[in-house]
Structure 1
Amino acid sequence: MPKGHSLRLTAAAAAELGRQAAVAGTPGMMHLDLVDGSCERWAIRLRPGHLAGTPIARADGITLYAPADQLELVTGLSLDFRGDISGGGFLVRPGDGVVSCACGTAFRRIGGGRQATQ
């Protein structure tokens, strides 16, 4: 992983990413990219496999890749997974300079973070 670029994965997120990667036939590899969000600027899209990019997180046997031009936007984010009997989903946990929407699936950077449109 590039020095200074990281996204934190909770144990629950790493376990679910690992499960999804295994089911898709790409054990240990998932890809994250940012798409336009509905309630905040960015939403995270997760897909199985490497699909090009740079490794941004490693935990519990899973490596998560992202496009190089989105590294600054995901740095410092924390990705969590919450599930219950009705389903589950990945959530962005806000940190310094990050605001997430009420549902937790989209975020925006405030202050010094990059606000670029892609």
Structure 2
Amino acid sequence: MDQTVTLSHSAAARVAAIAEKQGKPAILRLSVEGGGCSGFQYKFGLAEAPEADDAVAETDGVRLVVDSVSLDLVSGCVVDYVESLGGAAFRVENPQAAAGCGCGSSFSV
């Protein structure tokens, strides 16, 4: 894909560590579902392999895959992994989001 979605180095390192512990390929799937407090919510999970219509970005040998429907809502975003006093989580910096919630896991366009 033409890097319309980017995986940060810290997110790639975290995905690699989780995948190694679970004995799975280092492939993070990002999808968007209806719901959450702002209308849409991000969903993350490890994937066994990219699907035929997935967009794929790679950072440090770790792949980020996004289905074609979700890509319309997250194009241009950066997936990061952040650790803070409140905990650690993957965070999506989405330039298309008009509004979001405090937890950072849902958004509206």
What's the counterpart of residue 33 of structure 2?
Answer: 35
What's the counterpart of residue 103 of structure 2?
Answer: 103
Spell out, residue by residue over 1:75-102, the C-alpha distance to the aligned partner (whole angstroms, 9 max, x if none): 111211112466411112242x323322
What's the counterpart of residue 54 of structure 2?
Answer: 54
Structure with larger RCO (C-alpha < 8 A, sep 6+): 2
C-alpha separation in 2, matches of 1:105 and 1:89 = 10
- List 4+ stretches of structure 1 deviating above 6 A: none
**Which consecutive residues of structure 2, in runs of 5 or more, have no partner in the other structure?**
none
CA RMSD of aligned residues (A): 2.2
Structure 1 residues 8 and 84: alpha-carbon distance in aligned structure 2, compared to 1, 3 A threshold = same
The TM-score, its normalising length taken from structure 2, stands at 0.77
The TM-score, its normalising length taken from structure 1, stands at 0.72
Residue identity over aligned pairs, in percent, reads: 25
What's the counterpart of residue 82 of structure 1?
Answer: 82
